[in-house]
Chains A and B, each alone.
Chain A
Amino acid sequence: MISLGVLSPNRPIPRKYLPVLVTGGLFLAMFVAGGIRYEGFASGQVVLNVFIDNAFLLVVAVGMTFVILTGGIDLSVGAVVALATMISASLVTDGGWPPTLVIPLVLAVGAVLGLAMGCVIHYFDIQPFIVTLAGMFLARGLCYTIGTDSISITDSTYTGLAQARIDLPGGAFVSPSVLVAVVVILAGAYVLHYTRLGRNVYATGGNEQSALLMGLPVARTKIAVYTISGFCSALGGVLLSFYMLSGYGLHAVGMELDAIAAVVIGGTLLTGGYGYLLGTVLGVLVLGLIQTIISFEGTLSSWWTKIFIGLLLFAFILLQRLGAARRT
């Protein structure tokens, strides 16, 4: 047997996990630094609060991770979130529909929007950037055809879910939305790593032409990721309507950018093919923890959040660049 052992890579730590480790390290460092600087910061509940305040963003970012792994982008997510809150609020408050009917309907609307954008992107071979930009305007505009003002939700199911606390051992608690987000994350990770759809997502992002020539269903995969992203956005919208108890066309403005930032900070390559959902979760947590630290600081304006996110993004993009340079 001819050994090609000399050609084998020498990998002390699998380099593919490095970006996730960096993000995880950053999160830990921020948590420790916060704990030293502020009283009452170093508790599990602070982290859980980050989950509670960002459950909708987590769900949206899961969908975004699927899209970015194929090398695409979805700019419509924030607008779809807003549309979901608007449809929910108008049907529940003005229409008097039961939530058990409204929520599945809203999820279906999001998925169908995503499906439509995916089809346009694939069959007409148009850049995802411009198609989802159009989808963003469309969804945002549709919000205002429903109503220009904020519609508050007073339905008992919604208010009940908004106030519900799920107690954890040790006096800590989370909201039902966090459970939903965790289920979505676990399901997403399972799909990405243990199903053909997930592997096709990685293959398509790695080299679309190759994936096609290897006989993989590239069309189905690309359309599926935008559908998943649309679905996740709608679900994020439902969670946001629990959190805000209102529907409004100006909800979640710029959330697509937060989601993209979280995915990138989580180590997923914008060119596709490399990245993990765990990284995305850590990315959202880092963003949330920045906000927490700034609120603990007390004297800083909340705009500092944006400044830190901007600096972090720069740092992580440069890191990706260096990683890519070493790979080739």
Chain B
Amino acid sequence: MAEPDPILRMIGISKEFPGVKALTGVDFRLLPGEVHALMGENGAGKSTLIKVLTGVYDVDAGRIELAGAPIAFTGPLEAQRAGISTVYQELNLCANLSVAENIFIGREPRRFGRIRWGETRRRAAELLARLDLDLDVSAPLSSYSPAVQQMVAIARAVDISASVLILDEPTSSLDAGEVAQLFRVMRRLKEEGIAILFVSHFLDQVYEIADRMTILRNGRLVGEHLTAELSQVELVGKMIGNELADLERLDEKPKDLARTGDVIIEARELGRAGAVQPFTLSIHQGEVVGLAGLLGSGRTEIARLLFGADHAGAGEVVIDGTPVSLRTPRAATARGIAFCPENRRTEGLIADLTVRENIVLALAAARGWARPIPRRRQDELVEKYIGALRINPPNPEQLVRNLSGGNQQKVLLARWLIVEPRLLILDEPTRGIDVGAKAEIQRLVVSLSDGGMAVLFISAELEEVLRLSHRVGVLRDRHLVAQLPNDDDLTVDVLMETIASGARP
């Protein structure tokens, strides 16, 4: 079968940021009626390529053609008008407006300049019905879950009569049912002849939906392949180069189960109304305790209570046998507890500071303003952790905002490792980052616990929790329902059953 002409063609695209070569001579093409996956590690240049395409960034070199005609958009609005719509990784909707308005804002049906609200709501409801969604279109968007908000964003993009639809990590906040629903919608759009550019870190999803994929590494094109002709192992190899062995080396459970180090921290009937039911949990020195449960089951809430970010309504925390009051994160930090929050952009990193400044932040805070860290000592420390965590680019003076998601996560980790905590709480440290960086962070957790650090590891990926933890706490509906030793009997299936039923079968 002859290939149709590409609807979109990008030729020799280069883009440089201060200190970072984000894209170097990348070619890309998109055929009508296909789902095309853009693959690569964090920092490979996927987001930059999309932003160049939609006019958020200018290109330094290269050209873009849409349906054969050269284009150079000055912004997303122009790209949208030309038929290129994007749903970004971070939701770009206005939570204060209604569902219907989020779909139609800027394009509301009007008569003599007056917005016709009835018509707007009717059309929004029709459109959502086409996507099998039954929502109250006049309710504010903020009253719906992120997953539903994502669907609304896609509905908006779809309705802008797009010939090219870009979905940047659309599935990262959706559950399995919602992913299936999204894929149904994508297939329907594909049949309508729309070209879909799809970015996802979930390989299974890519293999389920994509017809073709383009792989980037370090801002360069690695290749374009039909999905059917490239195995997953080959794909991962192309994405991360020759580091494939790393992934496999980790594919074993932690061996020495009998961690009998001293109890570092113990929560006794600790709870907070509306957040998490009272729970009792102790963590030993050198032990990795995993927390498994669905989104919203209270995982993050436990972490925040142990770090003093929220006030406990009930119970007490005992550290080294003495009851302590963790009323603030500062008090927790002083007792050797460190917390890498889930939302690294808003709760962790300061995007306008450099890598060095972000890394020394916690240490500087712990020492106080009267005892600044000498610059030479800072440089040594930062150098050490950039090397140990393989932060890329390895430039301490780079602004954190210019780093990719995985590297930002590493910077955040480095900040807490530098203060040498006794208990490290990691909340979803591997979400939204690629396999390579994921493996590195997992390896790091193992080596930290070997070195005697206690780790509370929270992740939505059960395989990951199983691979790293000595013990797994299972949460269900804000209840810590079980604490299971990670022995040979504990499998993903058992965990899932526990999450579903609330007790070990």
Q: Which residues in A have some Cβ–Cβ distance to B below 8 Å?
A: 1-5, 7-9, 11, 16, 193-196, 199-200, 202-203, 205-207, 209-217, 273-274, 327
Contact = CB atoms under 8 A, between A and B. Distances in A.
A213 B127 CA distance: 21
Contacts of A199: 97, 101, 105, 108, 115
Contact of B96 (A1, A8, A274): A274
A273 B96 contact: yes
Contact of B132 (A2, A207, A210, A216): A2
A196 B139 contact: no
Given A11-B143, A207-B93, A215-B75, 17 more contacts: A1-B129, A7-B144, A7-B148, A9-B140, A11-B139, A193-B115, A200-B106, A203-B97, A205-B96, A206-B95, A206-B96, A209-B92, A213-B86, A214-B76, A214-B94, A215-B76, A273-B96
Given A9-B143, A9-B144, A214 B108 contact: no
Contacts of A216: 77, 105-106
B106 A9 contact: no
A202 B136 contact: no
* Most B CB within 10 A of own CB, among A2, A3, A195, A209: A2
Given A11-B139, A214-B92, A214-B106, A202 B97 contact: yes
Contacts of A8: 135-136, 139, 143
A291 to B, nearest CB: 33
Contacts of B144: 7, 9
8 contacts: A9-B136, A200-B105, A202-B94, A203-B94, A205-B96, A206-B96, A215-B106, A217-B77
Nearest to B151: A4
Interface string B73-88: 0011100110000101
A213 B73 CA distance: 13
Contact of A327 (B77, B129, B134, B142): B142
A212 to B, nearest CB: 7
Q: Is the interface of A mostly helix, strand, loop or mixed?
A: helix
Interface string B137-158: 0011011110010000000100
Interface residues of B, number: 39
B181 interface: yes
A203 B105 contact: yes
A211 B148 CA distance: 19
A206 B93 CA distance: 9
Contacts of B133: 2, 4
A3 B134 contact: yes
Given A213-B88, A215-B76, A207 B95 contact: yes
A327 to B, nearest CB: 6
A187 to B, nearest CB: 13
A4 B134 contact: yes
A207 to B, nearest CB: 5
A196 to B, nearest CB: 6
B375 interface: no
A166 to B, nearest CB: 29
B114 interface: yes
- Indicate the member of B95, B117, B145 with the most A CB atoms within 10 Å: B95
Nearest to A327: B142
Contacts of A210: 91-94
A214 B93 contact: yes
A273 B77 CA distance: 21
A274 B95 CA distance: 10
A5 B134 contact: yes
Contact of B139 (A9, A205, A274, A327): A9
A229 to B, nearest CB: 21
A206 B94 contact: yes
Nearest to A9: B143
Query: Which of A2, A210, A214, A327: most chain B Cβ within 10 A?
Result: A214
A198 to B, nearest CB: 8
Contacts of A211: 94
A8 B117 CA distance: 21
B421 to A, nearest CB: 28
B4 interface: no
A233 to B, nearest CB: 25
Contacts of A205: 96
Interface string B89-119: 0011111110001000110101001110100
B200 to A, nearest CB: 20
B119 to A, nearest CB: 12
Contact of A4 (B75, B93, B94, B135): B135
Nearest to A193: B115
Contacts of B132: 1-2
Contacts of B75: 212, 215
Contacts of A3: 134
A3 B136 CA distance: 11
